[in-house]
């Protein structure tokens, strides 16, 4: 489980390991993140996308108070982490990730205020928003059906 149908699990191993390292670093870059207990691959295509379930050693505080796990997406698209409650399966998590990114991209493309958007860590340019929309389309059409 975790590798797209038809993918070479042996050849994918090092690429998925690199995505796991990226996911761990992304989570640990947040000051609110407690230590990581487990980082579990939920779905991945090496070099393209990794969806991981992160379990923390203790509950989060702040706006995510009480949560002990989150999804994290990394790869050849903007990294993001978000709650598991409203997306309990890998397919639903990828759909939520696409919605989060699409909201950001549409906000950038229309020139609206980004303060209510998830903080995507790229410059808010038309070029980045259009590239992101293309990647979202790929994830929705090619990857989510296999998740």
Which H or E run includes 128?
helix 126-138
**The pTM is what?**
0.90
Question: Which residues of the chain are under the pLDDT cut of 50?
Answer: 1-6
**In terms of residue numbers, what domain contains 88?**
9-146
Question: How many domains, the chain?
Answer: 1
pLDDT at 4: 46
How do beta strands 49-56 and 69-75 pair?
Answer: antiparallel
Residue 1 in any domain: the answer is no
Residue 96 in any domain: the answer is yes
Residue 91 in any domain: the answer is yes
Residue 62 in any domain: the answer is yes
Angle at the Cα of 45 (from 8 to 120), degrees rounded to 5?
170
Q: Cα separation of 66 and 140, whole Å?
A: 31
pLDDT at 9: 59
**N-term to C-term CA, the chain:** 9
């Amino acid at each position: 489980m975790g590798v797209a149908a038809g993918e070479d699990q042996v050849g994918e191993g090092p690429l998925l390991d690199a995505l796991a390292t990226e996911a761990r670093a992304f989570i640990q870059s947040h000051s609110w993140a407690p230590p990581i207990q487990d980082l579990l691959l939920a779905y991945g295509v090496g070099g393209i996308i990794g969806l991981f379930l992160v379990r923390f050693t203790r509950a989060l505080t702040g706006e995510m108070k009480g949560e002990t796990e989150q999804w994290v997406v990394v790869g050849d698209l903007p990294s993001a982490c978000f709650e598991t409650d409203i997306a309990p399966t890998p397919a639903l998590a990828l759909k939520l990730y696409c919605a989060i990114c699409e909201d950001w991209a549409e906000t950038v493309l229309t020139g609206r205020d980004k303060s209510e958007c998830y903080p995507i860590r790229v410059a808010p340019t038309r070029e980045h928003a259009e590239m992101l929309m293309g990647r979202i389309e790929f994830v929705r059409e090619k990857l989510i059906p296999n998740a």
